[in-house]
Amino acid sequence: MKRTCLLIHILTLFILPTQAQKFEGLAMTPPMGWNSWNTFGTDINEDLVKGIADAFVEFGYKDAGYTYIVLDDGWMAKERDDNGNLVADPEKFPAGMKALADYVHSKGLKFGLYNCAGTKTCAGYPGSRGHEYHDALLYASWGIDYLKYDWCNTGDLNAEEAYITMRDALYAAGRPVVFSICEWGDNEPWKWGKDVGHLWRISGDITPCWDCELGHGNWSSWGVWRIINMREGIRAASGPGHWNDFDMMEVGNGMTTSEDRVHFAMWAMLASPLIMGNDVRIRDEATIKILTNREVIAVNQDPLSKPAFRLIDEGDFEIWIKPLSGDDWAMCFVNMTKSEKALDFDWHFEHIGDNTINRTLDIQAKTYGIRDLHLHKEIGSTGEKLSAVIPGHDCLMIRLTPLK
């Protein structure tokens, strides 16, 4: 009897899965990469992905910290095979996903795919509902490093439970995967996503405009400032391994250079993942300069991992502040109008601090040097007023560092 019980115990150790969880130690700073959807929709293929990977290296995106190349909706055939496997569209991806992942990995980059918690993806391809563990094993066999998981055609599914199911499936498959929750903020994922995924969307899809809503019948796309202003009280949810995701960026997709600069600066300030959504194969020097600005990226990737908050809203101007490691601070002064505006900021006028970490910009006891992160130069100190002229829909982004 004792021998039988021991045998059952040993078999149980092999049969029962390890307690499911998300993969820890991933996305300890906001993920950086590229996603196909904003520019290409479902018009994707393996030559596009290879070209994107090549451009990452050629134009300095890889050196600036961008790592993930993620294929969004439309990579699959319309039906699973006879064994229930997802199949890469043979016309778009004739060499298959394993070969494509190998190519991306050969560049020192990581590769991601898209699927959906429902029966169909948003574009009508096979979803993962009822196939979660099967699909996770397939992704692992292909060498997938990142999964964006959408929320179309989900019926009456419970969002948290549906995402937990795929989280558990990915963990059981054994290959570390960054898990991106994309249910548009409808089910308040900032309240439950920390233990489920590594990032979660806080809004519907972005569109390349300053502050607009683009209606599509029963859903909308949102401009940069509509997304920024959409949620309140979510700042504390972000941190290492769990990020509020303000969506893929639209830098280079039709806004003005000034608006692109603000867009990128604010995503950096808010500690959002920096996922490019433009055609990075195009050598557009203004776009490359914005997206590879290492001083702005450093604000996003700062190890203190605290998102910015709005310090002042004067209508014409908004002032955002983000605490950084080492007693540094980042600030972004945004001209919300289309006309040039003069800034004259008195450091003694306003109490500046972050009560959530009990930290104050103590200009009475310390003097901070001021560095312009777009001009890459020192522009004074907090010992005097900060004066600047900011063009319409543009910003002054600075870093404050205590002077010795």
Active site residues: 150, 205
As beta bridge partners, residue 32 has: 274
Task: Locate the DSSP E strands across 9-161.
Answer: 32-35, 68-70, 110-116, 146-150
- Cα 259 to Cα 338: distance, rounded to the nearest angstrom: 10
Nearest alpha carbon to residue 140 among 93, 105, 177 = 177
- Cα 64 to Cα 82: distance, rounded to the nearest angstrom: 43
Q: What CA–CA distances, in Å, run from 176 to 14, 139, 170?
A: 21, 11, 8
Tokens 């016309």 map to which residue? 91
- Cα 352 to Cα 338: distance, rounded to the nearest angstrom: 27
Number of Cβ within a 10 Å radius of residue 21 = 12
Tokens representing 121 are 């993806």
- Cα 121 to Cα 151: distance, rounded to the nearest angstrom: 8
Phi, psi of 245 (to 5 degrees): -110, 115
